[in-house]
């Protein structure tokens, strides 16, 4: 407990109509005795996305394929994150159970609907605050 739960690794958050000074006093009374870590942080190289491809075919036992494509993206504090979110919204999502897929402005989603190649398709991004260059 003393190794991983240290003062420099804790965050206290409060939301709503709260008195900041009261929250600070409360946190100090409960966690004021927690010591900071005694060890120095170890610098490690950042993880680098190198891509991958794994294929395991079992056509006789599987009626569907689940596919994901991943790409490194900017951090959520980057100004480039907003165009990425617009692109994600433009791409939209498709479900064969949606009664109105033909209303999408995205030609890919219209093609998926017309061809029956996919039952579901959607774009998403998981941007973090800090992203190191690869």
Least confident of 28-37, 53-62, 92-101: 53-62
Average pLDDT, the chain: 76
Concatenating the DSSP letter of every residue in 12-46 gives: ----SS--HHHHHHHHHHHHTTPPPPSSPPPP-PP
CA 57 to chain centre: 28
pTM for the model stands at: 0.43
CA 127 to chain centre: 5
Show me where the domains of the chain are located. 1-38, 67-134
């Amino acid at each position: 407990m003393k190794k991983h739960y240290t003062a420099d690794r804790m965050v206290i958050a409060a939301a709503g109509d709260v008195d900041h000074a009261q929250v600070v006093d409360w946190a100090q009374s409960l966690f004021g005795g927690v010591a900071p870590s005694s060890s120095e942080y170890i610098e490690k190289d950042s993880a680098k996305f190198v891509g991958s491809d794994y294929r395991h075919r079992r056509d006789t036992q599987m009626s569907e394929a689940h596919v994901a494509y991943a790409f490194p993206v900017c951090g959520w504090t980057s100004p480039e994150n907003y165009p990425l979110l617009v692109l994600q919204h433009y791409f939209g999502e498709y479900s064969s159970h949606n009664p109105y897929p033909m209303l999408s402005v995205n030609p890919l989603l219209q093609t998926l609907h017309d061809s029956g190649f996919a039952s579901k398709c959607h774009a998403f991004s998981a941007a973090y605050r800090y992203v190191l260059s690869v």
